[in-house]
Structure 1
């Protein structure tokens, strides 16, 4: 065990765990705990060992807590070669003549009035607890990468992931990803909408979990729309993407799209205008005005409405590239001989229909 408790005596830790410390002593220990995660993990390990030792003591009587702790500390300081584990098969004990690194063995040997089991059995049990405790805490700290999040509300944001993948988030979206990708897969979780430009790594596929749908790629660019109120939709810009849910699966290439329904996955043609929130490029080819307005509304995040159903079927063929929303709507109105007005934050297109 490390010595991060250099400013806290082991006797004080023992009284803290035994709930016999004074209020000022408890304050000292809690201040020490707040200094670092390492201190908290060390006390957690002590507590686990202490609890297991307390369970042993329930089967005996007359245990002196301070005496048990002092015996343990003595063993730690003296580093006796007469280690109880030296009697176990296959156990090698470091000799004082050529130590490679300092080894500290913690051993609890409760003093009882009536010992029911040999001392070596007690020692082996305590060492097993130590191994389990250390294994657990170090496994958690070393094997589980920390999860990070990036989220948007009324804004967009580009995020670079640890593997070099670029993610552009739309409004009201959240991406969860590990601090470092480990293992065979690079897995992230998405709520909302984002455009992914995945760094190619054939040995480590990139996986997106989105509302029960899995999107798996090696290296490509595509858009994922996964808001709670609508089916998950994937539009591929480059490369190949596999979309899966339960037993349903479809592979998409550039120019293809899929919509994930409750019991199926429906293939569609990709709609580049859905990516307008990132590119600010819109291209319409004989598109209904209602579809045009929907794309403008979603891409610019503005409220655009039609004053009547007659103009909803007006068709428009036009391209916009990084134009301000006011200019874009003005061009649409002029092209279709409509009127454009703004009331508060709402844009209205009005007219008598199209020929």
Structure 2
């Protein structure tokens, strides 16, 4: 430094270059620069040495200014003369007072940026998840705790986290739903153009083709297609055949037997029995004579194999059951 003028301490210059000086210290450096035009050239040279020492632009949270200044000073003692002509111009700190209007503008800008990020993160389409079956059944627990039992050849699609104002899923195939209650976030199923809306209930939805069937076990279910809406209670069912054709049915108590393995028949016609068994066991069960369809059966069968279940039923109604090819066939004298 120039010995004809007061010399600032090494520590002060180091803090100034490292941008850690206090306001008073910045004012001292400013006064020193104002005292002589040569001081600016000297500071430019020191800044270039500082940069070559690898200390400028550091992203570390804390800077050891003493060590940095020692590194610069060692270069100076090694007769490395700063090239003032090539040195970068050092922007000098400026004191600025912000008016109320400027503060208000800054606040508005920060709010706008914050809202922009909030809007961005909350309007992005969530990642879609799906679970599928082929020749198997599958039980899936959704993020909200709702249990879904998928039948053969079925696919359930839902947004990751199942977040949003409504818990919306789509179904292709068949599934039994046991929905966790949440009055603020209704559970909605889209199936072949039909919407099934619930809050907390258990029910079965079959949507393998255009027609959609809903059987309610508990709670209340709203079924909608186009402008037509129907509300179902426990024990009720409906088959939606078109925008306006809603066929009201009694709920099939064995609609979910494909997953539970439980078949409960109460004076059920044999025609309905073989239909339920065919669907639940994914096998072909038939009657040798359509006249046998009117026979009635009462019984509960749980966790049995298809062969065992058919044998028990045949014995209880005085019939025989045989396997012909891939089909099981009931035969007998008929009902008395």
- TM-score, L = length of structure 2: 0.63
CA displacement, residues 305-341 of structure 1 (integer Å, 9 cap, x when unaligned): 2222232222222221222211110011112222211
**Is it true that 1:278 corresponds to 2:271 in the alignment?**
no
Partner of 2:297: 316
Q: Taking structure 1 as reference, are residues 91 and 253 closer, same or farther at Cα in structure 2, changes over 3 Å only? A: same
Q: CA offset at residue 347 of structure 1?
A: 1.3
The corresponding residue for 1:333 is 314
The Cα of 1:90 is off from its aligned counterpart by 7.5
**Aligned mate of 2:238, from 258, 273, 280:** 258
* Paired position in structure 1 for 2:183: 202
- Alignment partners' CA distance in 2, 1:343 and 1:226: 30
Describe how 1:1-355 pairs up with structure 2 within 5 A: 139=120, 143-228=124-209, 231-262=211-242, 263-355=244-336
- 166-175 vs 280-289, which moves further: 280-289
- Work out the CA distance in 2 between the residues paired with 1:332 and 1:188: 39
User: What SS class does the counterpart of residue 301 from structure 2 fall into?
Assistant: strand
1:121 maps to: none
In 1: Cα distance, 2:146 partner to 2:287 partner: 39
Q: Alpha-carbon deviations, 1:278-313, whole Å to 9, x = none? A: 222222222221111000000111111222223222
CA shift at 1:254, angstroms? 1.6
Per-residue deviation, 1:220: 1.2
Q: Which structure 2 segments of 5+ residues have no match?
A: 1-89, 94-100
Structure 1 position 140, deviation (Å): 7.7
Which of these two proteins has the greater Rg computed from alpha carbons? Answer: 2
DSSP-derived class of the 1:201 partner: coil
SS in 1 for 2:297: strand
Distance 2:199 2:292 in 1: 44
Q: Measure the CA separation in 2 of the matches of 1:90 and 1:146.
A: 42
SS of the equivalent of 1:354 reads: coil
Cα-to-partner distance string for 1:168-197 (whole Å, 9 max, x where unaligned): 001111100011223211100001110111
Q: Which moved more, 1:195-204 or 1:277-286?
A: 277-286
Alignment partners' CA distance in 2, 1:253 and 1:90: 63
SS at match of 1:326: helix
Q: How many residues align?
A: 235
Q: Give the gaps of 5 or more residues in structure 1.
A: 1-77, 82-88, 95-99, 101-130
- Report the CA distance shift for 1:141/1:253 in structure 2 as closer, same or farther (over 3 A): closer
> CA distance change for structure 1 residues 333 and 202 in 2, over 3 Å: closer, same or farther?
same
Residue 25 (structure 1) aligns with = none
**1:93: how far off?**
11
Task: For residue 216 of structure 1, report the CA deviation from its aligned partner.
Answer: 0.9
Q: Structure 2 CA distance, aligned partners of 1:143 and 1:187?
A: 16
Question: What SS does structure 1 have at the residue aligned with 2:209?
Answer: coil
The answer as to whether partners of 1:249 and 1:265 remain within 8 angstroms in 2 is no
Deviates more, 1:315-324 or 1:208-217: 315-324
